[in-house]
């Protein structure tokens, strides 16, 4: 029985030695993995720090660009407001002229209608009517020409403004 115990102890000792050796190998393997992971973590932390510095730098640049764009937009807004006000005045003037043209044309139509009803059969009345019609048509033509000239001047002014703006950019 003693020999069986010794044999059992010897086998147990071998198993313990094998387990200990295996445990040492596993421990070394885990130590290596730990060192590798710690190295990766340190590298990631360093990369993160660099990324944060770059992010802060980028945010600063973005803020500077936003400020510059805001300033330029405000300047453009002021310039545009001034030009808009000038064009608005000219547009109002053109509208007034257009209203006068419409009024003149309505007046012309009204007078023409009245004259035609009065003419009747009299030849003398017909000649006077023709002269009045010609006068009104000349007046209407003059007013239209004046309106076209003002409209064309306004168009040219607008084109020149936008050409000037495109040239500045």
Q: What is 75-113 written as a DSSP string?
A: HHHHHHHHHHHHHHHHHHHHHHHHHHHHHHHHHHHHHHH
Q: Identify the pLDDT of residue 168.
A: 66
- What mean pLDDT comes out for the span 6-18? 88
Q: What are phi and psi of 122, to 5 degrees?
A: -75, 125
Nearest-angstrom CA–CA distance, 142 and 140: 5
Nearest-angstrom CA–CA distance, 62 and 64: 5
Count structural domains, the chain: 1
Q: What percent of the chain has pLDDT over 70?
A: 93
Mean pLDDT rounded to a whole number for the chain: 88
Q: Identify the pLDDT of residue 57.
A: 94
Nearest-angstrom CA–CA distance, 98 and 102: 6
128 contacts 71 by C-beta, under 8 angstroms: no
Collapsed DSSP state (helix, strand, coil) of residue 129? helix
Confidence category of residue 9, pLDDT binned at 50, 70, 90: confident
- What mean pLDDT comes out for the span 50-77? 95
Residue 158: CB atoms within 10 Å: 13
Rg (CA), the chain: 49
Structural domain harbouring 154: 2-168
- What mean pLDDT comes out for the span 140-168? 87
- What mean pLDDT comes out for the span 57-86? 94
**pLDDT tens-place string over residues 96-106:** 999 998 998 99
């Amino acid at each position: 029985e003693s020999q069986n115990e010794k044999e059992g102890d010897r086998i147990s000792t071998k198993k313990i030695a094998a387990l200990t050796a295996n445990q040492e190998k596993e421990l070394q393997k885990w130590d290596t993995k730990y060192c590798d992971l710690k190295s990766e973590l340190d590298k990631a932390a360093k990369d993160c720090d660099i990324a944060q510095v770059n992010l802060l730098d980028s945010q600063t640049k973005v803020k500077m660009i936003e400020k510059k764009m805001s300033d330029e937009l405000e300047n453009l807004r002021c310039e545009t407001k001034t030009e808009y006000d000038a064009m608005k005045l000219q547009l109002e003037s053109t509208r007034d002229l257009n209203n006068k043209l419409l009024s003149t044309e309505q007046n012309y139509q009204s007078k023409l209608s009245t004259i035609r009803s009065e003419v009747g059969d009299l030849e003398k009345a017909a000649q006077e009517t023709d002269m009045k019609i010609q006068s009104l048509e000349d007046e209407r033509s003059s007013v239209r020409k004046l309106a076209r000239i003002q409209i064309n001047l306004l168009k040219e002014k607008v084109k020149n403004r936008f050409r000037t703006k495109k040239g500045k950019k």
